[in-house]
Amino acid sequence: MHPDLDALIDICADYGIGHVVLAGGLPTVASLGRIKATGARVLAFAPTLAFARRLARSGVDGVIVEGMEAGGHIGPVSTSILSQEILPCLDGTPVFVAGGIGRGQAIAGYLRMGAAGVQLGTRFVCATESVAHPNFKASLIRASARDAQPSVQLDPRFPVIPVRAITNKASRDFLDKQFDVIRRHDSGELGVKAAQLEIEHFWSGALRRAVVDGDIEHGSLMAGQSVGMVTAEQPTAEIIDTLVHEAVSSLAQHS
Ligand SMILES: Cc1cc2nc3c(=O)[nH]c(=O)nc-3n(C[C@H](O)[C@H](O)[C@H](O)COP(=O)(O)O)c2cc1C
């Protein structure tokens, strides 16, 4: 097991963490067993049905299906397609749906399709309790769905993991950076590894720059397409009340 993961599991055990969410790969039997031995439940992201089935067989307590409408790191497939592919085919393991949910009616829709629950990120970034910088919150409140775009990869030789964020100076500078790195690689100035590293390093610390320092030009303004439905700073309880009310009304209307 990776020593960092081992240390993280110790921290979760010390704090009595109830649920651990794993992203970015299939957990090993050893790490899953270690986490479960702390008493925590384990959830993991599944980008495909085959992956979801492997996770279910490996003994995770729940699977999260996140579509490309979401804020932050994303895959290539939409929430609506992933939900249709995975929800009817994964008996016995609870599936949570994430990505692009801004209203309770959408929650009701996914619950009707068989979801055990949903995960929302963007809708809560501007909660009063959120420690995000006021500049960051204001950017989200101003933005509409079409402002939340995935980062662009210019050259298949230098892969970019797509991140959905509000377009700003940093996202435009990222294109210039890639142009520059590709030019220097093609002229023999940079090796493949060094070129890839330069591209990857561009965004390092960028979320912190935006969320903590409030630098909305040079930081990463991670947000999903539901950002257009974030129109004000609101207490978390109010956001949840609204979502629950919308979901319950929708379920009652269509029962
Ligand atoms: C500002 C921001 C930061 C995020 N950071 C992470 C992260 O570090 N790890 C992670 O697994 N998901 C992260 N997410 C994704 C959320 O956990 C959640 O799955 C996603 O926001 C759901 O889609 P939505 O944004 O459409 O509601 C982030 C989302 C946002 C908006």
Torsion of CA 161, 82, 46, 254, to 10 degrees: 130
pLDDT at 205: 97
Pocket probe mutation, ligand 1, options 73, 139, 204, 240, max atoms within 8 Å of Cβ: 73
pLDDT at 24: 81
Say yes or no to pLDDT of 191 above 80. Answer: yes
Confidence of residue 3 (pLDDT cuts 50, 70, 90): confident
Q: How far is CA 192 from CA 67, 128, 197, 207, in A?
A: 31, 45, 9, 26
pLDDT at 21: 95
CB of residue 100 inside a 6 A radius of ligand 1: yes
pLDDT at 254: 78
Q: Whose CA is nearest to atom 18 of ligand 1?
A: 121
Pocket probe mutation, ligand 1, options 95, 119, 123, 140, max atoms within 8 Å of Cβ: 119
Pocket probe mutation, ligand 1, options 42, 64, 79, 122, max atoms within 8 Å of Cβ: 122
pLDDT at 26: 87
Say yes or no to pLDDT of 138 above 70. Answer: yes
Contact (CB, 8 A) for 67 and 79: yes
CB of residue 226 inside a 6 A radius of ligand 1: yes
Say yes or no to pLDDT of 144 above 70. Answer: yes
- For residue 126, give every residue at least 6 positions away whose Cβ sits within 8 Å of its Cβ, in sequence order, or none: 132, 137, 140, 141, 230, 232, 233, 234
CB of residue 99 inside a 6 A radius of ligand 1: yes
Instruction: Tell me the CATH architecture of domain 3-125+234-253.
Output: Alpha-Beta Barrel (3.20)
CB of residue 102 inside a 6 A radius of ligand 1: no
Q: Whose CA is nearest to atom 21 of ligand 1?
A: 121
CA of 211, closest atom in ligand 1: 1
Task: State what percent of residues in the chain have pLDDT above 70.
Answer: 100
CB of residue 219 inside a 6 A radius of ligand 1: no
Q: Which amino acid is at 66?
A: E
Say yes or no to pLDDT of 234 above 80. Answer: yes
Kindly state the average pLDDT of the residues 110-137. 98
* Average pLDDT of the residues of the chain: 96
CA dist 154 and 158 (Å) reads: 8
DSSP 149: E
Q: List, for residues 32-75, the tens digit of each pLDDT value.
A: 999 999 999 999 999 999 999 999 999 999 999 999 999 999 99
Q: List, for residues 75-115, the tens digit of each pLDDT value.
A: 999 999 999 999 999 989 999 999 999 999 999 999 999 99
Q: What are the boundaries of each domain within the chain?
A: 3-125+234-253, 134-229
The enclosing H or E element of 163 equals strand 163-166
Confidence of residue 1 (pLDDT cuts 50, 70, 90): low
Measured in Å, residue 101 CA sits from the centre of ligand 1 at 12
Contact (CB, 8 A) for 224 and 166: no
